[in-house]
Structure 1
Amino acid sequence: MTVAEESQHHEHHGTLQKQLGLRSLILFGLAYMCPIIVLGIFGVIAGLSQGGSSGSYLLATVAMFFTAMSYGLMAKHFPVAGSAYTYVRSALDSRLGFVVGWTILLDYLFLPLVIWLIGAAYLKGEYPNVPIAVWVVTFIVITSVLNVLGLKVADRTNFVLMTVQLLILILFVVLSITHLLHGSQSLVSTVPFTGGGFGPLTAGAAVAAYSFLGFDAISTLTEEAHDARRNVPRAIVLVALIGGAIFVVVTYFVTLVAPGGTFSNTDSLAADIAKTIGGSLFGAVFLTGLIVGQFTSGLAAQAAVARLLYAMGRDRVLPERVFGWVSERFHTPVLNIALCGVIGLGAIFLDVTTSTSFINFGAFTAFTLVNIAVIAYFLRNRGQGLSGMRYLLLPGVGALIDGYLLTQLDSKALVLGLSWLGIGVVYLLVLTRGLTKEPPVMAAIVEAE
């Protein structure tokens, strides 16, 4: 960017105001995390863990705790907007930073697919005679048309969303407990934590991490937070722990209602459990709330990735003529929206396990490298009194756990993820002419994160 362009850039962008306290940061992180997703993928985790969903979520919480600590440390030392891409680029290497940015793009590109698939799976469970492809295409067509027309969705109203989600989760737990007591079943059991043993529990944890995606997004608010060096790290860790506690408690009682790991409707199990514990009325309320949530989430996710691709095209990280094009009629990046829709059609051929694992491939890759970035920062600044425990041991454990969970993902997801990573490496070699020059800065990734 030239001096003139940089000056013009700053003329059109005001300074971010510091207006968020610790409570607001925690609320943002929880809203972004979307706690109700624990019910959306409960059947998948139960199947993989062989009835040990709580154990899988406990393992995932431990992994996320170590990673959250690393995010907190990097947010303290690099108090600017941006997340994994910024930290790895700054503490490790610009080329590794590009790789992280590429894996983050994977999450953005395929998140709408996962959202549409989960919603379609629950509608398929309710209307078994309707092919799942019908629901997937319906989601894609409606959201794509709305995004092309430029429908502006209101900003996330955190208090309302969190209140509704928490009420449904609390009601789900209360009705589960009531159902168990009426059946004279014990409320104390170790089975939800042990499942089929360590192997199945780690396989479940590798997918359960999908529920945590969003705790790291707090770091994007660094420039708008009061006492950011103190509050942002605290909020990141607290959101990971609070989210983990919610997931463990909810899955514990739901597992007692529906024990085991073999179900005929794994992808939409929670809807049937809702009917079991609360009758048809609660089942309908739960399904409606989940589908509406998935639809609005998919609408926002598609709009976000279309904007991200446009910004990357504008920055010439991607071909400008395609990705940087905006329709003169609708004033929206129509080609990018259409591309997202085409990718979403892949949901017809995937299941929830594979698709969530695919998303987690990008997440675990970024998480692992952020932990390594903390270690690199420590090695470069050893004379500044940094704690070896916090900057070396804990992130080292975090990197090992994240790396191990990465290997436990669905085999199809690993193949797809490694293929995506390979494309990114080849593209990096082209952009840098065989690593002989610096890769372009992914300003769009920083803005999106």
Structure 2
Amino acid sequence: MSAIKMKRVLTTPALIAFGLAYMVPLGIFTTYGEVTVKSNGHLPIAYIITLAMIFFTALSYCRMANKLPIAGSAYSYVQRTFGGKAGFLVGWAQILDYLFLPILNYLVLGIYLNEAFPSVPAYVFVLGSLIGVSLLNYLGIKLINSVNFTLIIVQMIFIGLFIFFTFANTHLIPEVIIKPLKINADDFSGLMSGAAVLCLAFLGFDAIATLAEESNDAKRSLPKAIIWTVLIAGCIFLVVSYCGHLIFPMWSSFVDNQDTASLDVMHHLDKINRIEFIRQISNNFMYNFFQAAYLTGVFASAMTAQTSVSRIFYAMGREGVLPKQIFYKIHPRFRTPYLSIIFVACFSLLSLVLDLSLVFSMISFGALVAFTFVNLCVIKSYLSGNTKTASMLFKYGLLPAIGVLLSLWLWTSLDATAMIVGLVWLAIGVIYLIYLTKGFTKTLPSIDHSELNSIIKD
């Protein structure tokens, strides 16, 4: 058992910054081309659908974070609510999206930096980013928090300019204003498919829950940070996607270059820009600024993604379902789960060989499994007693039930490859579970109630 505990240094603003850095305010451009094509040029509507589902689920995370303020997020909630076996399988699915998100960020960094510097191979940028992110994680959460604030400010400055230049350079006639929001019956299936992919854009809110043991007042700060992060990010994604469609409505041209569609938007914005002061600075001002702001944001997301998954491994190692000698180790000086961080860095080397589209799907599969079960945790945790008022049935019954239905709805919209790979991953988890329980004849290892209470009260 680890005698060293993590530092409780994170306040509500710090947790919000962590969540936004994880999401990347400019992360909308990571899936901009793919989801614009899937939704037939209606990316803002796809975000509205995803935000509706996410909001109900975010409320459930708030309930569970208040009830169980411990590291591990969905894994810990399900493990304590439905038992070790269910918790393990949900944690196993959750690992899928958390492990693939750093890989997604490294892939994006490689693609965009190689686009800017074609003479340098993409793998050089991938490896350099991976080493830098892992080193910052190794050195501690306080350093990461300081870097997060700086990188978010850079992105927010760009977003402000992007919105200003959009309305300064677009002819705002009624047919232009309404086009991104006007949908037909034929668009519905594409919107749902796109909305399923966009789940990864909101993953920062549940990543906040993994930091319960590094929060200075987890029962209060975690729920506040979760809701504020969802609302702030949702507003940013909606406004920026709408502006992108106003600037560059020719979405059909993205079909063959979905990974870098955002660069086409920025090129077009620079081309139509009528502000002479900006033209004097550079003919490619927004394109260059976007590259800098977006890539710093992706780097921040890679940092926070590695932080979160290492905390999930830490929680699973503490329970004993993963090897304690590796995953339940805290660095005596930096107070970080350093061996988990190194393990995630090694796994992230897959970014050298994987495809961006496949990684998108893998992240959404694991996220939707976790979302579904956290909603179910609220129903069981809060409504298992005898006394049930109308208010309780609404807050702890109806609202999470809507979250379950919306999560399942989006889950069925994932593409076939994601479903196949995701189910194979779960099958591997079942095999490992059979091994851990000796063919289901033994219970899974777990911390006892006294240690749990010690963690919560610490």
TM-score range (shorter-chain normalised) is: 0.7 to 0.9
If the length of structure 2 is used for normalisation, what is the TM-score? 0.80
Conserved? CA contact 2:62–2:223, under 8 Å: yes
Are residues 167 and 213 of structure 1, via their aligned partners in 2, closer, same or farther at CA, if it must alter by over 3 Å?
same
Are residues 14 and 215 of structure 1, via their aligned partners in 2, closer, same or farther at CA, if it must alter by over 3 Å?
closer
Report the Cα offset of residue 126 of structure 1: 5.0
Give 1:20's match in structure 2, choosing from 11, 14, 19.
11
Report the Cα offset of residue 296 of structure 1: 5.3
Find the aligned partners of 1:442 and 1:420 in 2 and give their Cα distance.
Answer: 26
Conserved? CA contact 1:274–1:286, under 8 Å: yes
Find the aligned partners of 2:128 and 2:215 in 1 and give their Cα distance.
Answer: 36
2:278 is matched with which residue?
none
1:399 is matched with which residue?
404
Find the aligned partners of 1:413 and 1:252 in 2 and give their Cα distance.
Answer: 28
Give 2:268's match in structure 1, choosing from 267, 276, 290.
276
* 1:180-232: CA deviation from partner (whole Å, max 9, x where unpaired): 13x87865214345275211111111111111111123334546667754553
Find the aligned partners of 2:433 and 2:237 in 1 and give their Cα distance.
Answer: 38
Q: 2:136 aligned with 1:138, yes or no?
A: no
2:183 is matched with which residue?
194
Read off the aligned partner of 1:191 and give its amino acid letter: P
Moved more, 372-381 or 394-403: 372-381
1:267 is matched with which residue?
259
Are residues 139 and 410 of structure 1, via their aligned partners in 2, closer, same or farther at CA, if it must alter by over 3 Å?
farther
Report the Cα offset of residue 370 of structure 1: 0.5
Q: 2:353 aligned with 1:346, yes or no?
A: yes
Q: 2:92 aligned with 1:92, yes or no?
A: no
1:428 is matched with which residue?
433
Q: 2:21 aligned with 1:41, yes or no?
A: no
Conserved? CA contact 1:49–1:261, under 8 Å: no
Are residues 238 and 296 of structure 1, via their aligned partners in 2, closer, same or farther at CA, if it must alter by over 3 Å?
closer
Give 2:420's match in structure 1, choosing from 411, 415, 439.
415
Conserved? CA contact 1:46–1:261, under 8 Å: yes
1:173 is matched with which residue?
163
Conserved? CA contact 1:368–1:402, under 8 Å: yes
Moved more, 108-117 or 24-33: 24-33
Are residues 202 and 221 of structure 1, via their aligned partners in 2, closer, same or farther at CA, if it must alter by over 3 Å?
same
Report the Cα offset of residue 303 of structure 1: 7.4
2:361 is matched with which residue?
357
Conserved? CA contact 1:49–1:200, under 8 Å: yes
Report the Cα offset of residue 155 of structure 1: 1.6
Are residues 149 and 55 of structure 1, via their aligned partners in 2, closer, same or farther at CA, if it must alter by over 3 Å?
closer
Find the aligned partners of 2:16 and 2:307 in 1 and give their Cα distance.
Answer: 25
Aligned-residue CA RMSD (Å)? 3.6
Which consecutive unaligned segments of at least 5 residues does structure 1 have? none
Find the aligned partners of 2:69 and 2:393 in 1 and give their Cα distance.
Answer: 22
Give 1:440's match in structure 2, choosing from 418, 426, 445.
445
2:451 is matched with which residue?
none
Query: Secondary structure of 1:383's partner?
Result: coil
Q: 2:201 aligned with 1:211, yes or no?
A: yes
Moved more, 378-387 or 171-180: 378-387
1:291 is matched with which residue?
295
Conserved? CA contact 2:72–2:315, under 8 Å: no
Give 2:43's match in structure 1, choosing from 50, 53, 77.
53
Moved more, 398-407 or 24-33: 24-33
Which consecutive unaligned segments of at least 5 residues does structure 2 have? 271-282, 331-336, 449-454
How many residues align? The count is 422
Query: Secondary structure of 1:156's partner?
Result: helix
Are residues 50 and 303 of structure 1, via their aligned partners in 2, closer, same or farther at CA, if it must alter by over 3 Å?
same
Aligned 1:63-142 pairs, distance under 5 A: 63-123=53-113, 134-135=121-122, 137-142=123-128
Are residues 230 and 187 of structure 1, via their aligned partners in 2, closer, same or farther at CA, if it must alter by over 3 Å?
farther
* 1:90-146: CA deviation from partner (whole Å, max 9, x where unpaired): 12222111012112221232222211222233345557x779xx41x2234324555
